[in-house]
A and B are shown apart, each in its own frame.
Chain A
Amino acid sequence: MRGLSPDATDGVDRHATGELTVMLELSHFARRLPLALCCLLLSAAVVQSQKVMAQDAAAAQEILPGEPPFDCAKCHSRAEFLAGKTDTQEGDAALLVPDSIILASRHDTLACASCHPDQATIYPHEAPEGASRAVPCESCHEVQGTDWRASSHAVNVAEEGDAPTCVRCHGEHAVFSPEDRRSPTHPFNIAELCGGCHADPAIVGTYFAQPERVEAKAPVVQYFETVHGAALTRSGLVISATCNDCHDAHRVLAADSTNSRTNPDNIVETCGRCHVGIVETYEQSAHGVARAEGRRSLNDRPAPVCSDCHSSHSIVRADAQDWFVGIVEECGDCHAELYDTYSDTYHGKVTKLGYGLTAKCSDCHTPHAMYPPDDPRSSVHANNLVETCRRCHEGANENFAQYYSHANPKERTEYPKLFGTWLFMTILLVGVFGFFGLHTALWGLRLVIDRLRAAKEA
C-alpha cells in the first residue's frame, strides 16, 4: 500500500478491520470456516482492484501536465479513464484510439500529432483562442483538399453544417485506402456512403436545387438498378462505375456547373474514361461531330451526348427490351419526322406495342457510328444497305433494301407510288363508307317513318 494516497489507505484499513472482527467472532464455529475463507478472498480482491484504480489515477497525475510530446495512448487507449470526459457516451467512445487502430490503418506511420498538432501540444486539450480543431488532411493530401474546396460539398463547411468533410467519407482513425474492402470509399461501399445523405429526403430537401427531382426516386436507390449498380452487386465487378467515377470523388459538382464532370459538355470525356471504344466511335459520328461544331437540331437542341440517350441514374443494359423501346422515343425527340414515318412501318408498330423484336433506330443506324446517309461509312448508305438489312433479314437483296423505311405516303413528289396508293385507298374507304353509310342511314330513317305512320293510323 505504499505510495497510495491517505484516503485510499484509510478505506482499505477500515474494510480489513471490519472483516477481521467478524471473523474472530465466528472462529468458534469451526464448521463455518470455509465460508469465512471465501469472504476473506473476496475482500482481498476488492482491495486489490481499488488499489489498481488508484494507481492509474496517480499515473495520469504524474504524466500530465508535462512537456510534449505526450504519450497519447496512455490515456486514449483506456476507456475507463476516458469515461465522462465528454457530455455523451459517443463522445467518450470517439476519444478511445488504441494504437492497434492506427497501426492497422493506412496512417500507420503517422504520429497523433501529425493530424492533431494543436491537441498534441496542449493539455488540457481545450484549444486556445483562434486555434483550429479541424484536422489538417490537406497538409499531406493537397490535391484532394483543393478539389474538395472547389466542390459543392464544401459549400457550407464554414457553418459546420451537413457538409461532408474528409472524415465524413474516409473515417477518422481507421482510415483505409479506397482499394481496401474495409474503406467506406471502396467501390462496394461507396454508394451506401453517398446514399447516407443523397437518399435522405431531409438533406436533399435542404441543399438540392431541385429536390423534387431527387426525392421521387433517390439516385442512390436508382443506381443499384442500373447496369453499373448491377455489375457491382450481382457480378461483383469493382471496376464498374460508382458514384465517384462519374461525379469525381472530391470535386463533386452539380451537372449544371461547367466544371462538373457530369456537365453535358464534359460527360463524353467522363464516360470515355471507361468506355474508350464507344467514345472514339461517337466522336466521329454525326452526333459527335455536330456536338463538337456546336450545331443544333431542328428543334434547337444541341447534339446528344452519352447521357441524353442512356440517361444518368437509370442507365440500363442496352440489350434490355424496355430500353430498346424507350430509345426510339428518345431519338424521336429530335428526329420527329423520322419517328412519325417509322411509326407507320411494321418495325415501328411492333416497337410501339412494347416489343423490342423488330428493327429500331439503332438496329439500322447503329447505336454510335451513325453518319449521314450520303456518307460511305453510314450503315444506311446505298452501298451498305443490303448488309444492314441482312443483320435481321438473312435473305435480303437489292430489291429488299429498296423498301422505304421512312416513307410518308402523303408526299406526292417524293413517293409518287405510295401517294397514289394512299389516295386510291382513301377514296375507296371514303366512297364505300359514304355510300353505304347513306344507304343505311336512309334505310333506318325510312323504317322509322313507316313505323311512326303505322302507329298514327292504328
Chain B
Amino acid sequence: MREPLSASERGEGPLYWRFSPLERTLHVLVIVSFMGLVITGIPLHFSYAPWARTLVRFLGGFQVAAFLHRVSAIIIFGYFLTHIGYVVYKLVTKPTLAERKAYLFGPDSMMPRRKDLEDLIQQFKWYVGRAERPRFDRFSYMEKFDYWAVFWGVTIIGGSGLLLWAPEFFSRFLPGWAFNIATIVHGDEALLALGFIFTIHFFNVHLRPEKFPIDLVIFTGRATETYMKEEHPLEYERLEREGRLEAREAPPVSRTLYLWSLVFGFAALALGLSLITLLIWTVLR
C-alpha cells in the first residue's frame, strides 16, 4: 500500500515536468472563472434559499453579480479558445502524419482509448478486491473525464448562457421555447458541474488519503519521481524506456511559487467545500 503523498514536493527523487506554464495558467483561469460563475450564479438558481439575498447583496447587488457572471464567462470563452487554438497549432506544426496521429491518439493525448474503459473496470474490480490497482499513463480515465466534462460544460452552459445573455438577438433565429430549454439546461448543467468539481474532482485529486489535503502539481507544474511512479507509472516507464526521462527533469519549486500555490489551492478548495456544503444543506432542508 501507498504512503500519503499530498504534494509535489513530497515523495522522493528528482522532479519531472508534468504541466506546461500555459496549461497551469489556463487551469488557474478555469478555477477563477468557475468560482466567479458559481458564486454569482447560485443565488439566482437558489433564489428561494435564505442565504440567496444576503449573498447577492454581498456581491454588490443583482446587477453587479450579473456583470461578474458575464466577466467570468468571457474568461472561460477566452481560455477555451486559447486551448483549442493551442491544440490546433501543435497539431498542424507536427511535421509528419504519424506524429499528428500520435499527438491526437497517443498515450500523451486526452483522447479516450480502449485502455481507459479497461482501467475503469479494473478500478471497480480493485475496489472489491478482485484485481490489482490499475496503472495509468499520462492521464487517467478520471482526468480525461474531467477534461471532456469541461468541453461539454463550456459548450452546453456557455451556449445556453449566450442565448440567455442576448435573447432578443437569438430570437431572430430561434423559437421562444429555446430560451425555456436554455434556462433549464443552463441551471442543471451548472449544478452538475459544481457538484462534480466540489465533490468528485476534489476527492479524486486532493482529498483521497494518498493526496490529502492538496495536490499542487497543477500549480507548480512538476511532480516527484515517487508521485510519477505511483500516479502515472506507465508514463514514467515509457519515458524511462525511451530515454526521455532526463529531458523532463525540472528544477525545484521556488518558495514564492510554492506559497502562492498553497494559498490559492487551499482557498479554492475551502471555497468549493463551503459552497457544496451550503448547497447540500439547502437542497435537503
Contact = CB atoms under 8 A, between A and B. Distances in A.
Given A395-B169, A399-B172, A440 B204 contact: yes
Given A343-B48, A395-B168, A447-B209, A404 B176 contact: yes
B277 to A, nearest CB: 16
B47 to A, nearest CB: 4
B174 to A, nearest CB: 6
B52 interface: yes
Contacts of B195: 429, 433
Interface in B30-61: 43-45, 47-48, 52-53, 56, 61
Interface stretch (B69-77, B180-188, B226-234, B260-268): B180-188
B175 A346 contact: no
Contacts of A454: 1
A439 B168 CA distance: 43
B164 interface: yes
Contact of B48 (A352, A426, A428): A352
B17 interface: no
Interface residues of A, number: 49
Nearest to B189: A425
Nearest to B55: A353
Interface in B245-273: none
A349 B186 CA distance: 14
A393 interface: yes
Contact of A443 (B61, B164, B169, B208): B208
Contact of A399 (B48, B164, B176, B183): B176
Contact of A440 (B62, B167, B188, B200): B200
Given A353-B43, A396-B171, A445-B127, A404 B196 contact: no
A404 B179 CA distance: 9
A402 B177 contact: yes
A345 interface: yes
Given A346-B164, A397-B172, A433-B195, A353 B185 contact: no
Interface stretch (A191-199, A214-222, A415-423): A415-423
A72 B209 CA distance: 105
A400 B176 contact: yes
Which of A344, A400, A451 has its CB near the most chain B CB atoms (within 10 A)? Answer: A400
Given A397-B172, A399-B172, A451 B181 contact: no
Interface in A221-267: none
Nearest to B192: A429
B80 interface: no
A422 B181 CA distance: 8
B180 A404 contact: yes
Interface in B196-211: 196, 199-200, 203-204, 208-210
A445 to B, nearest CB: 7
Interface string A364-384: 000000000000000000000
A208 interface: no
B105 to A, nearest CB: 25
Nearest to B120: A439
A404 B177 contact: yes
Contact of B1 (A426, A440, A451): A451
A436 interface: yes
B199 A429 contact: no
Contacts of A396: 168, 171
A417 B181 CA distance: 8
A429 B188 contact: yes
Contacts of A345: 183
A309 to B, nearest CB: 22
Contact of A432 (B172, B177, B192, B210): B192
A355 B177 CA distance: 25
B150 interface: no
Given A442-B124, A446-B126, A454-B1, A349 B47 contact: yes
Contacts of A451: 1, 209
A421 B188 CA distance: 10
Contacts of A402: 175-177
A365 B168 CA distance: 21
11 contacts: A349-B47, A353-B56, A397-B171, A403-B179, A418-B181, A425-B188, A432-B192, A442-B124, A444-B203, A444-B208, A447-B208
Given A400-B167, A402-B175, 9 more contacts: A354-B53, A393-B168, A404-B177, A426-B188, A429-B188, A429-B192, A442-B124, A443-B203, A447-B208
Interface of A: 343-346, 348-350, 352-355, 357, 393-397, 399-404, 407, 409, 415, 417-418, 421-422, 425-426, 428-429, 432-433, 436-437, 439-440, 442-447, 450-451, 454
In the complex, the 4 A-B pairs of residues with the closest C-beta atoms, listed nearest first = A402-B176, A395-B168, A403-B176, A400-B171
